[in-house]
Amino acid sequence: MWTFRGVPYTGGALELSNGHVVGGGMYEDGRYVDVYRSEFIVGEVRNSIEMERDYTGEQFHWGDSVYNGFSYEFSGDVCVSERLYEYGWVIEEVTYFPDGQLRTVEIGEDVPQSYEWFEGGGLEAMTVHQNNIFMFSLKFSLEGLKRLTLLGDYFSKLPQVIGCIRFPVLRDKAELSSLKCAARVSLIGDGIDKAVVDYIFMGDNERRIRELELDGVNGTPEILQCLKNYQQLSVLKVVAAKDCVDWWREGCVQFQVLRPECDVYLNNRKVSLEG
């Protein structure tokens, strides 16, 4: 019995190998009922048709119609991807490394999510968002966290959507302190506040982080005071929105006066105390 989203699946499923459709099946109430018959699948010829991949944002057509159903792609005998199409659009996708380990996952309708892992294990990137409400994203290097994006108030909305999130990496701001950071870290978005900055720099991260970029972060005296306390910073880069440029210009000057040994940049221009 094949179930999808908790109910028996009815529809088609395509099998691909090295980018080519090689077969498929039809399912009714979760049970296989017949092969997927189409003029585009010719007998056992494994290279009968090349899939029109969704790399350009175009719908996937099967014959003269947009495709609804699953597709599976193989490299040799190894399944390297699974995709679900609705009206020709890929709405969910899972890919694998050659050894079968998860490589990427893209799932979710109300709360779209994407996850990516390093080969050999370890999360490389993840994004969770809800249109016009929030976006939360992490990006790691082998050294540690290198980018955190927070748009909107993800943490306050999380209790309402937690049931939709497949891999809830963080459940509250305090858990940010558990992340090992790289030497260069970017904090992006209007959801970055004093608490987020404090947790990011907590513990050994205060020693690790040498270069910090703030992009689209609302300037506040509390955040500026946090930055002044981090003596290990050698580079501070601020990318300010138009309505925050004046505030951050004054804030960067204050920081530069206090920390003359630190290189400070505002919107890609080095802050100078001369003139």
Please, is 181 exposed, middle or buried when counting C-beta atoms within 10 Å of its C-beta (0-12, 13-18, 19+)? buried
Beta bridge partners of 105: 94, 115
Kindly report the CATH number that applies to the domain delimited by 99-275: 3.80.10
pLDDT digits (tens, 9 = 90+) for 159-180: 998 888 888 778 899 999 999 9
- Selected residue with higher pLDDT from 21 and 252: 252
CA distance 102 to 148: 22
pLDDT(2) > 60: no
Instruction: Work out the pLDDT band at 14, boundaries 50, 70, 90.
Output: low
Q: Kindly list the domain boundaries of the chain, sorted by start residue.
A: 1-96, 99-275
Question: Given this model, what pLDDT does residue 118 score?
Answer: 95
HEC per residue, 187-246: EECCCCCHHHHHHHCCCCHHHHCCEEEEECCCCCHHHHHHHHHCCCCCEEEEECCHHHHH
Please state the rounded mean pLDDT for residues 245-266: 94
**Percent of the chain residues topping a pLDDT of 70:** 79
Please state the rounded mean pLDDT for residues 221-227: 93
Question: Given this model, what pLDDT does residue 195 score?
Answer: 95
**Percent of the chain residues topping a pLDDT of 90:** 44
Instruction: Work out the pLDDT band at 57, boundaries 50, 70, 90.
Output: low
- Selected residue with higher pLDDT from 212 and 243: 212
Average pLDDT across the chain, whole number: 82
Instruction: Work out the pLDDT band at 108, boundaries 50, 70, 90.
Output: confident
pLDDT digits (tens, 9 = 90+) for 15-34: 666 555 566 676 665 566 66
Please state the rounded mean pLDDT for residues 169-193: 93
Question: Given this model, what pLDDT does residue 274 score?
Answer: 72
8-state DSSP, 160 = H
Instruction: Work out the pLDDT band at 40, boundaries 50, 70, 90.
Output: very low
